[in-house]
Structure 1
Amino acid sequence: MVRSPSNFKVSDVGDNLENVIRALSKEQIVEIRRYQSTLNPLSMMYMMIAVIVPSLGITVMIVLSTFPGMGAVASEDTFWALLIGVAFMQFMFMSVIRSKRPNLMT
């Protein structure tokens, strides 16, 4: 016997949709928590490599350049190389974070 659409109960469809939505919500919460657990170490590495190391490096270069005969340490080329290195690291971290982001639309 084939049922026509008029024979279906509205509450059955509503209950099924509610169960599907609840299951998808739970999956999304699990994905977000997993992403959070991977994002914490990544943010720590980002802070170390892209913020702290260049800041300390520039400070050390400036201090070393004040000593006699060490002026070549803080040349303009060194600062340009540091800028390019920091920009490269920014790009790499953004790519890693983008690739680790969960796709919640599925």
Structure 2
Amino acid sequence: LLAELTRERIDQIRKYGQELSPWTMIYMMAAVILPSLGVTVLIVIASFMSVGIPAVVLPVIVLMLVGFQLFFMNFVASRRPTV
């Protein structure tokens, strides 16, 4: 009985690890790569067009990223198997 419960927990942890890999990639894309490239492209295009970027744009981007990070941390924590 104990060996079966242990095996079941190990399987749950292994499944969680396999499921976490794609979510980690999505997190890297959404929270690291896209904002970095997006802000860079926004600044470059705005400077080429001689258009000023409103002062509120960058804080809004940061707030959106903080919201996404909190959502993602909650999501991952809810998917974690109980040990």
TM normalised by structure 2 equals 0.90
User: Which protein is bigger by CA-based radius of gyration?
Assistant: 1
Alpha-carbon distance in structure 2 between the residues aligned to 1:48 and 1:64: 21
* Alignment-derived partner of residue 6 in structure 1: none
Shift of 1:33: 1.0
Of structures 1 and 2, the one with the larger relative CO (CA 8 A, separation 6+) is 2
Runs of 4+ in structure 1 deviating by more than 4 angstroms, as ranges, are: none
**2:39 matches 1:58:** yes
Q: 1:12-57 CA deviation, whole Å, 9 max, x = no partner?
A: xxxxxxxx33222211110011101211111111011111110011
Alpha-carbon distance in structure 2 between the residues aligned to 1:23 and 1:81: 50
Q: CA RMSD in A?
A: 1.3
**2:81 matches 1:102:** yes
Q: Give % identity.
A: 37
1:93 counterpart (72, 76, 79):
72
Shift of 1:68: 4.1
Which structure 2 segments of 5+ residues have no match?
A: none
Shift of 1:61: 1.5
Count of aligned pairs between the two proteins: 83
**2:48 matches 1:67:** yes
* Alignment-derived partner of residue 19 in structure 2: 38
